[in-house]
Structure 1
Amino acid sequence: MKIAAFGHYPIHRPLHGGQRRVAAIARQARAAGNIFRYVPIYSTRGYPDGSPDERRSAVPDALLPRLHDPQRREDLHFSDTLKDHPLIEGLIRELREFAPDAVQFEHPWLYPLFAEALNRDPVLRRARLIYSAHNVEAALIDPHWRAEAEALEAALVARADLAVAVCDADARHFAGLPGAAEVVVAPNGCWAPDPETVPSAPLDGPYALVAGSAHPPNARGYWASIGEIPGFLPPRSRLAMAGGMTHLITTDDRFRRHAQMNAEFVVPLGVVEEEALSGLLHHARAICLPITEGGGTNLKTAEALMSCKPVIAMRPAMRGFEEAERLSGVHVADDPEQFRCLLRDAMTGAIGSQRRPDEVAQYGWPAQLAPLISRYESLAA
């Protein structure tokens, strides 16, 4: 099966959750014998490290000021910025030459750029349309833009032959939209650690790991769950902070107000490469998931579960992973005080984990994406 996929970020060096999910879909689709061609249409301001091939479809520099206009939303207004641009005309020509069996959109934002061609072109209209949803976008967007996002998402679901959801709650939402066709659930996951490799320790001494992208809800969850100073941690232990959320936290006045104390308890690492993240997960004494809001499912939850380390999570972090709450070492808090107490207990060794790799293999990408990969086969039939 030939699949053409479009998204708004490059994936050759996946760092945040969306990039990792798309990269995993591409890898699993190709492993199953499909030809999977992913084309990112993206801003080089947000993603300056696209590969040479990916940069062919990057938004032209002349359009970046309009794309990043503070009065607009970059994702929602992608199509408005690039409408009738030669870049899109060229991509449609390439798409026609590729003659895909299916066209897949990661997120809904780019669909309007290709909608007319998919409906009218004699080659492209034969392709099945797949909406690969990472969450219910309209539910997370600023209320000022919500109606516009809802209309876009609903139009794509109504046109799609298949919608892909990351959890049952999202699947129910999409299935309830007018004109919705089939919805398949393919949750988020991660790659299993290599049992033969012991990564080097990135930090000295005991630490808990918190990691997340620069998605604002990650920062809000941190402040709500951990607070302005993680002074509840036992002596000589620290909180290692990785990912884009690091910048959101450390530049906040709440962090700066207690700079000296936070320097004692927090190790801000910023965005780290995959190898460094593997080391952080392997050597952490506990993995904490201070997630208090949002939609879909969280890749960090899958990583935490597959680490087999004690997991301290706020309940929203377990969305889509509810059955994992019965596993050894998975501790779920309903309020910040309970979260902090559990994290302290994990760092002192009062609570631990006996999870085995075979118990969490179901949270790896091959198992999580299997429903989608199987569906590709039946779409091609």
Structure 2
Amino acid sequence: MLRNIPINIDVIHVEQPWLWPLAVKIKGLRAYTSVLLVYGSQNIEEPLKRGIFDNYNVDDAEDFLNEVNNLERRAAREADLTIAVTQEEADVLTSWGVRDVLLLPNGIEPWHADIDGITEWRRKLPEDPWLLYIASAHPPNFTNFAQVFGGSLGCFPPLSRLVVAGGVAEHIYAALQHSRWSSLNLSRLHLLSKLSDRDLAAVKSLAHGFVLPIPFGGGSNIKTAEAIYSGSYVIGTKAAFRGFEGFLSLPEIRSADNPKSFHRQIREVLASPRRSAPLPGTIGFDQRQSITWARCLAQLPVAVEKAKYDKVPSE
């Protein structure tokens, strides 16, 4: 393994705590004692894992959860620089004794769909307005999905669809296949599974709007940033907008706290005219640029340089 490590390393950035002991071990080697250790995570891991276990009725995981808690506390405290993605997480890290937590919100890389991709996917997708849900197979992305909709996708008109892309698709299908109104629910689904970046750019560009049916979890969600950046309608749970509360005032953003509200918002959005993409120079355009990686991570190089400088012993 040592043969695969570069000779010169300035910084090791550990994302999530699982490999923190390895980073510390590398720093302990004579050649790497001056390495700067940076720690960041999309969540506070222990409560997130606890929520997942609770949903799967795992009742003998306390020892594991304690290990997770101890590991992420260790990583946050030992790091030369610790990063959080929401103020809520920053407050938790501060309560652990971490000083000067750097808050860097989640962001996205802007996408650009080509004309051929748009044309191809316009033929494959519903003609009537449809909404898009993109997510991985991470459990919070599908656990209690049916409950968010009150068990029914009847809020979608017969010719409209909920288009689902990503690893979450098979789990959404499984959840609705065994639901009370399974025939109706499956008739409103259009599953795409995993797509290439090119195809995904076209699908996101064609969506009438996005749904974010995320009932729990921690940190903030990149899928939320993508939905906001699109300029299309966005309907999500309160949990889906963690870290992005400042965007809730935008006219196309809808937050729903219960199935009845979720249904009403979906019906209203599907009956509304398609939104045009925000134009450069407008308030909406400039506000959305704030969630690109270029803007979200702008402070990171400066913070790393400062941390490196602070580590140099004074003469």
The 1-side partners of 2:182 and 2:211 are apart by: 22
On the 8 A contact 2:233/2:253 being kept in 1, the answer is: yes
Q: Which amino acid aligns with 1:99?
A: N
Residue number in structure 2 paired with 1:104: 13
On the 8 A contact 1:164/1:372 being kept in 2, the answer is: no
Worse-superposed segment, 223-232 or 167-176? 223-232
Residue number in structure 1 paired with 2:298: 370
* Aligned CA distance change for structure 1 residues 267 and 250 (closer, same or farther; 3 Å): same
1:27-46 mapped onto 2 (5 Å cutoff): none
Residue number in structure 1 paired with 2:288: 360
* Aligned CA distance change for structure 1 residues 302 and 117 (closer, same or farther; 3 Å): closer
On the 8 A contact 2:231/2:276 being kept in 1, the answer is: yes
| Cα offset, 1:341, TM superposition | 0.7
On the 8 A contact 1:286/1:343 being kept in 2, the answer is: no
The 2-side partners of 1:141 and 1:131 are apart by: 19
* From 45, 57, 77, the counterpart of 1:137: 45
Aligned residue for 2:12, secondary structure, equals: strand
* Aligned CA distance change for structure 1 residues 376 and 123 (closer, same or farther; 3 Å): same
Residue number in structure 1 paired with 2:66: 147
Measured against aligned partners, the alpha-carbon deviations of 1:309-360 in whole angstroms (never above 9, x if no partner) come to 0111111111100110111211111212101110111011179678543331
Residue number in structure 2 paired with 1:310: 233
Measured against aligned partners, the alpha-carbon deviations of 1:214-246 in whole angstroms (never above 9, x if no partner) come to 111111252222244311112311110111111
Worse-superposed segment, 204-213 or 354-363? 354-363
Residue number in structure 2 paired with 1:121: 29
On the 8 A contact 2:113/2:202 being kept in 1, the answer is: no
The 2-side partners of 1:344 and 1:255 are apart by: 24
Residue number in structure 1 paired with 2:96: 177
Measured against aligned partners, the alpha-carbon deviations of 1:79-125 in whole angstroms (never above 9, x if no partner) come to xxxxxxxxxxx24x543x5231221111110112343342x322222
Aligned residue for 2:18, secondary structure, equals: coil
* Aligned CA distance change for structure 1 residues 189 and 198 (closer, same or farther; 3 Å): farther
* From 190, 200, 210, the counterpart of 1:267: 190
The 2-side partners of 1:305 and 1:134 are apart by: 18
The 1-side partners of 2:144 and 2:134 are apart by: 12
| Cα offset, 1:363, TM superposition | 1.0
Aligned residue for 2:33, secondary structure, equals: helix
The 1-side partners of 2:178 and 2:150 are apart by: 9
* Aligned CA distance change for structure 1 residues 247 and 229 (closer, same or farther; 3 Å): same
| Cα offset, 1:133, TM superposition | 1.3
Q: Does 1:165 align with 2:84?
A: yes
* Aligned CA distance change for structure 1 residues 121 and 187 (closer, same or farther; 3 Å): same
RMSD: 2.3
Aligned residue for 1:220, secondary structure, equals: coil
Residue number in structure 2 paired with 1:209: 132
| Cα offset, 1:254, TM superposition | 4.5
The 1-side partners of 2:213 and 2:239 are apart by: 9
Aligned residue for 1:138, secondary structure, equals: helix
Q: Which runs of 5+ in 2 are unaligned?
A: 51-60, 279-283, 310-315
Bigger RCO of structures 1 and 2 (CA < 8 A, at least 6 apart): 2
On the 8 A contact 2:152/2:181 being kept in 1, the answer is: yes
Aligned residue for 1:131, secondary structure, equals: strand
* Aligned CA distance change for structure 1 residues 247 and 279 (closer, same or farther; 3 Å): same
The 1-side partners of 2:78 and 2:145 are apart by: 38
Q: Which amino acid aligns with 1:251?
A: A
What TM-score does the superposition give when structure 1 sets the normalisation length? 0.70
* Aligned CA distance change for structure 1 residues 312 and 210 (closer, same or farther; 3 Å): same
What fraction of aligned residue pairs are identical, expressed as a percent? Answer: 30
* From 251, 254, 257, the counterpart of 2:174: 251
On the 8 A contact 1:330/1:353 being kept in 2, the answer is: no
Q: Which amino acid aligns with 2:205?
A: H
On the 8 A contact 1:164/1:183 being kept in 2, the answer is: yes
* Aligned CA distance change for structure 1 residues 337 and 257 (closer, same or farther; 3 Å): closer
* Aligned CA distance change for structure 1 residues 312 and 260 (closer, same or farther; 3 Å): same
The 2-side partners of 1:199 and 1:185 are apart by: 37
* Aligned CA distance change for structure 1 residues 369 and 234 (closer, same or farther; 3 Å): same
Measured against aligned partners, the alpha-carbon deviations of 1:39-92 in whole angstroms (never above 9, x if no partner) come to xxxxxxxxxxxxxxxxxxxxxxxxxxxxxxxxxxxxxxxxxxxxxxxxxxx24x
Residue number in structure 1 paired with 2:213: 290
On the 8 A contact 2:237/2:257 being kept in 1, the answer is: yes
The 2-side partners of 1:196 and 1:211 are apart by: 20
Q: Which amino acid aligns with 1:373?
A: P
Residue number in structure 1 paired with 2:106: 188
What TM-score does the superposition give when structure 2 sets the normalisation length? 0.83
Q: Which runs of 5+ in 1 are unaligned?
A: 1-89
* Aligned CA distance change for structure 1 residues 232 and 196 (closer, same or farther; 3 Å): closer
The 2-side partners of 1:306 and 1:256 are apart by: 33
Q: Does 1:346 align with 2:247?
A: no
| Cα offset, 1:374, TM superposition | 2.6
Residue number in structure 2 paired with 1:239: 162
